Structure 1
C-alpha cells in the first residue's frame, strides 16, 4: 500500500483500518468522515494498555441536573439522543439538546462564548486553527486530558483537538466515511461509462450523461458549505504534485495563490458549473434533498457521505443501495483517497457549573457499548474512531478502499487557517460560479484571511 506524505502525523487511524481490512478482506471506512496513515501502514496500531478496556461506569448516585448542549444541525444523531435517555435513567442527569441551523451556528456559539454565557457542552469542528481561533478553547473549554477515553480514541482525532499538549474535546465520528462521488450504476452501465481516473474522463462522461437528458451531478450550493468539498477534499493531490506543499503553507513559505494545481482545480470546478453539470437549480438545492434527487433518477451522481445510499433505498423507489458505486473526486486528476480525521467534537464549557456531570456524560458516550450502539443504530455510521468495534462496511465501500490504496488528509484538516473560513470560501466559490470572481481571486482571498487569522493567533510564521 502506498501512502502520501500527509500520513506522517501519527496516523494510526489508517493502520487500524488496514487491520480491519485484513479481517473483512477489504478496507473499511467511509467526512466529516476514512482511515489511513503513514510509515506503519501495514502494521496494526499499537494499543495502549487500556485500549480494549471499557470506560469506567458512571456513578450510580443519581443527580437532579440538566446539561445544556448546543450543536449545529446534523451533528447530533438519533442514536446519541437515545443514549442520552439511557444516561438520564441511570444517573438522573438530563441532556437538553439545543440544535441550531448550520448557517447560523457558529455566530450563535461565538456570541455565547464572547458573552461568557456558554452552555454546559458545545459542539465544534476539530482542527487546531479552528479550536484556537473560533472557540479559544484554552479559555472557554475544559482540559480533558485525564479522561480514560483519551487512551482509546484514535490519536489522530485527538491531535485535532489538542492545544499545547492538552486535549479539549471528545470526537466521536465516522472519520473513515469520506464524501465521495456516489454514482448510479444503472445510468453508467446504460451509457457504457466507467469510473474516471482523470478530470478529462470525468468531464467526458458528465457530458455524455447530460446529453442523455440526465443531470450529471446534484450539488446543494444553498447550504453554503457543501460545494467547498470539491476543492478541499483533493488536497492530498495538490501536496502530491508539489511535495511539501502542506508543510510550506503552514510555515508561510508558500501561499494558495502560488500553487498552479489548486488554481487548475478551481478552474475545472468552474468549468463543471459552466457546462451545466450541477443543473439549473444548484444555487437553491439543499443537501437535505440529496437522497430524494438520487432516488428520482434525474441525477446520476452526488458528492455525498457514503451512507447516502441507505437513505435512497429507504425512500422505497426502484433504486437500492447496491445500485450505487463510489469514486474519489477526480479534479486535478486526483486518485488519492482523502480522509478527515477530525469532525464535529464535544467541548465542556469552562464556565459550566456542571463540569463533572458533563465529564460523566462524555465517559458514558465513550464506553464500548455506547459506541457500538451508535454504529448499530445509526444508518449514517459505518465505524467510529475507537478500536475494537464491529464495523458495517458494505461491499461497495470495500471496493472503494481497495480501488484507492494511496491515502492522505484533506487540506482543511492539515493546513492551518482553512477550516475556520470554510463558509467564506463557499461564498468565494459561489461568486466564482456567478462570474464575480476568478479562480485566482478565490485563492488570493483565502491567503488574506489566513494571514489575518495567523496574526490574531500570533503565529510566529507570519
Structure 2
C-alpha cells in the first residue's frame, strides 16, 4: 500500500518543539500500527539541521518500512546543552540524538550515558580522522552527521576582483587588503556581535596558526603548561581582533548586526570579508542560491605564508543513549546516517558545505566555490589543524563575551587572553584534569 508522509507539531515541557516526521503504514497513524516500530531522533532546530534530518528520515523509512522516525528539535547554545544533559540524566532522551563531538562530548558523560558502538560493522565506513572526536576511553560512541567545516574568512569575490586584490596568506596582507577595501567605501571585515558566538572566529579560526608555531600547544594547554596570554603564538588571535577593531575595519553596525544580517551584507557587497564557520554556507544556499558562488574562502592568515593552514571543525555526531528501548532500530538509523545513502540524502536536502567523514561519500560536481576552496586543505593533513576543541577538553564558556569586549575596544587583546585563561580553570578542575588542582 502506498505510504504517506505525516508531519505534526507538538509542545514538550519547557517549551521545546517537536517536529514529528512520520511515514505511516497502512491503516492509520498510531505509533506502532501494523507492527511498525516508532523511534525518535533529536536534532538541532536550525533550518539546515531540520531539512537534513527530514530527508534522511524519509529515505531511511523508505528503505526500512517497519520503522517510523519521529524528529524532535532543540535549540542551540547553552539552552540546548542543558536540554541534552537533563534528558540524559532523567532517562528521557530520544532513541537517537545529535550532539557535539570533541570536548563537549566529554561533558555529557559518554561512558555513563551513551551506548558504545565500537564493535559495530558500520563504523568501518567512518573516516579514521573522525573517530577520535567521538571516543571516550577505549570506546566509540557516534557517527558523523553533516560535513566537515572550517573556521576561515568567507569573502566576496566580486569585490576582490573589482579592487584587484589577491587572497592573503599573511596577516599583514589581510590588513593591507582590508585598508584598500575601506578606501573603496566598503566595510572590510564584517562582525556580527548581536549573535555573540560569531565574535570568536578571530581566536578560534587562528588555531591552525598556533599549532603551526607550537605543535605541542594542545597537549601542553590541556596539562596547564601554557596559557593564551603568555604564549606568543596563541595570544595573536586576541591581538589581531583588537588591531582590526581599532583600525576601524569593521562594519559600523557590528554591535547590532546578527549572523543572518552579516550573511546578507557579504552577499550584497556591503561588506567584503566575514570570519565565520563555513556552516554559514548552508544557510546562504537556502536564502541566496543564485549568489552562493560569488563567495570564496581562505584561512585566517598568520605570520608565515609558507605555513598558511586552515582550522577545521568536525561535524556533529548521532549518538544512542543507554536509556533507549529500541537498540536495534536506533543502530539501523545510525548505520544509515553513516552510509552513502545517508550522505546523499543530506546533500539533496541542503547541499554539501564541506567533505563528508564517511569514506564512500562523494561531493557533487556543483558544490559551492567556497567549498572547493576548502577541499585542498582537508585533502592534505599537513595543511590543516583541527580546532582546539577537538584536541583538548578545555574550553571556557565566556570566550564569546570576552571576544565581543576585545573587538569592541572595551578590553585589550592581552587582557582578553588573560581573562580567558582564568575562565577555563573552573571547567578544567571540574573535569579533574591533571595539573589544574
TM-score range, shorter chain: 0.7 to 0.9
Following TM superposition, by how much is the alpha carbon of 1:298 offset from its aligned partner in structure 2, in angstroms? 0.9
CA contact (8 A) 1:265 1:332 kept: no
Find the counterpart in structure 2 of residue 288 from structure 1.
260
1:335-362 CA distance string (max 9 Å, x none): 5332435221222222223333222211
Find the counterpart in structure 2 of residue 236 from structure 1.
208
- The 5 A counterparts of 1:8-407 are 62-71=35-44, 73=46, 76-89=49-62, 90-102=65-77, 104-127=79-102, 129-133=103-107, 135-175=108-148, 177-304=149-276, 320-332=291-303, 335-340=307-312, 342-392=314-364, 393=367, 397-398=371-372, 401=375, 406-407=382-383
2:421, 2:354 → 1: CA distance? Answer: 36
1:399, 1:316 → 2: CA distance? Answer: 19
Q: Aligned-pair RMSD on alpha carbons?
A: 3.0
Following TM superposition, by how much is the alpha carbon of 1:75 offset from its aligned partner in structure 2, in angstroms? 6.5
Number of matched residues? 396
1:366, 1:248 → 2: CA distance? Answer: 34
SS at match of 1:194: coil
Following TM superposition, by how much is the alpha carbon of 1:377 offset from its aligned partner in structure 2, in angstroms? 3.8
1:87, 1:186 → 2: CA distance? Answer: 41
CA contact (8 A) 1:79 1:378 kept: yes
Alignment counterpart, residue 385 of structure 2, candidates 401, 406, 409: 409
Tell me which of the two structures has the higher relative contact order, counting C-alpha pairs closer than 8 angstroms and 6 or more residues apart: 1
SS at match of 1:76: helix
Deviates more, 1:227-236 or 1:438-447: 438-447
Following TM superposition, by how much is the alpha carbon of 1:447 offset from its aligned partner in structure 2, in angstroms? 2.7
Find the counterpart in structure 2 of residue 57 from structure 1.
none
1:370-391 CA distance string (max 9 Å, x none): 2223234422434311112221
Q: Does 1:460 align with 2:434?
A: yes
Structure with the higher strand share, 1 or 2: 2
SS at match of 1:364: helix
Alignment counterpart, residue 439 of structure 1, candidates 404, 407, 413: 413
Following TM superposition, by how much is the alpha carbon of 1:167 offset from its aligned partner in structure 2, in angstroms? 0.9
Deviates more, 1:305-314 or 1:344-353: 305-314
CA contact (8 A) 1:374 1:381 kept: no
2:354, 2:189 → 1: CA distance? Answer: 24
1:153, 1:288 → 2: CA distance? Answer: 32
Following TM superposition, by how much is the alpha carbon of 1:214 offset from its aligned partner in structure 2, in angstroms? 0.9
2:60, 2:152 → 1: CA distance? Answer: 35
Following TM superposition, by how much is the alpha carbon of 1:399 offset from its aligned partner in structure 2, in angstroms? 5.2
CA contact (8 A) 2:133 2:390 kept: no
2:59, 2:43 → 1: CA distance? Answer: 20
CA contact (8 A) 1:232 1:410 kept: no
Find the counterpart in structure 1 of residue 23 from structure 2.
none
SS at match of 2:432: coil
Q: Which runs of 5+ in 2 are unaligned?
A: 1-33
TM score, norm. by length of structure 2:
0.80
Assess, with a 3 A threshold, how the Cα gap between structure 1 residues 354 and 283 changes in structure 2: closer, same or farther.
Answer: farther
1:257, 1:164 → 2: CA distance? Answer: 31
Q: Which runs of 5+ in 1 are unaligned?
A: 1-60
2:183, 2:254 → 1: CA distance? Answer: 18
Find the counterpart in structure 1 of residue 26 from structure 2.
none
Assess, with a 3 A threshold, how the Cα gap between structure 1 residues 320 and 436 changes in structure 2: closer, same or farther.
Answer: closer
Following TM superposition, by how much is the alpha carbon of 1:86 offset from its aligned partner in structure 2, in angstroms? 3.4
Following TM superposition, by how much is the alpha carbon of 1:401 offset from its aligned partner in structure 2, in angstroms? 4.9
SS at match of 1:258: coil
2:42, 2:59 → 1: CA distance? Answer: 16
1:312, 1:367 → 2: CA distance? Answer: 26
CA contact (8 A) 2:143 2:337 kept: no
CA contact (8 A) 1:125 1:344 kept: yes
1:184-215 CA distance string (max 9 Å, x none): 22212222222122212211221221122111
